[in-house]
A and B are shown apart, each in its own frame.
Chain A
Amino acid sequence: GIQVEQSPPDLILQEGANSTLRCNFSDSVNNLQWFHQNPWGQLINLFYIPSGTKQNGRLSATTVATERYSLLYISSSQTTDSGVYFCAVLTGANNLFFGTGTRLTVIP
């Protein structure tokens, strides 16, 4: 089956710093979503981005489908950005398959 690997697995940032999270996938995909799971467990949609680049405030994402990776950029990080970031891809079986996650901690 498809492999979805995220890096780094853990990241600690000082408030105000920038970061890049990476998602590599082993097969072609038709859909890719980025989620933020907050400390209360709620999965929050960040981007629906099968290809190209999107921006939303301090966050932006780029997916290069032909090279099988996606990047999530967080600028001027805030403590409320803490949590786990997941990318999820639609597999050939038409199921959304989640990556391993990046746990982000932003310290004041």
Chain B
Amino acid sequence: GAGVSQSPRYKVAKRGQDVALRCDPISGHVSLFWYQQALGQGPEFLTYFQNEAQLDKSGLPSDRFFAERPEGSVSTLKIQRTQQEDSAVYLCASSLVPDRGSEQYFGPGTRLTVT
């Protein structure tokens, strides 16, 4: 079946612009996660949804970052007033069950470059 998909794959934004990154999880997956991966490092947790409920947003680096999943499927990560330090790959992952310990499957990521 289809895996996790993300769009756009690449995004260039001028500093100060707002961006929206989309994640389509595997159909039927209850849990959805967002991660940020800086160059040369491993992914770092940003936020977690169980269906439409955002149960953990402890990893969001600032209040400029906002995520939603209004219908419990597609999710959007929004970054307001982008800054250069926001440049990174943003990864989305989903898992089948409402258990944060269950196996996560990752999308291809969106590479954001802020100029």
Contacts and interface: CB of A to CB of B under 8 A. Distances in A.
Given A41-B109, A41-B111, A43-B106, A98 B42 contact: yes
Interface in B46-97: 48, 56, 58-59, 89, 91
Contacts, number: 50
Interface stretch (A11-19, A63-71, A74-82, A89-97): A89-97
A90 B104 CA distance: 11
Interface in A42-90: 42-43, 45, 48, 86, 88, 90
A96 B102 CA distance: 10
A8 to B, nearest CB: 16
A41 B45 contact: no
A24 interface: no
Contact of B43 (A30, A90, A98): A98
B105 A88 contact: no
A28 interface: no
B101 interface: yes
B103 A48 contact: yes
Contacts of B33: 96
B51 to A, nearest CB: 17
Contacts of B105: 45
Contacts of B91: 43
B65 to A, nearest CB: 16
A48 B104 CA distance: 9
A33 B104 contact: yes
Nearest to B103: A48
A97 B45 contact: yes
A42 B104 contact: no
B87 to A, nearest CB: 14
Interface string A3-47: 000000000000000000000000000110101000011110100
B2 to A, nearest CB: 14
6 contacts: A33-B103, A43-B43, A43-B106, A48-B103, A95-B59, A95-B100
Interface of A: 30-31, 33, 35, 40-43, 45, 48, 86, 88, 90, 93-101
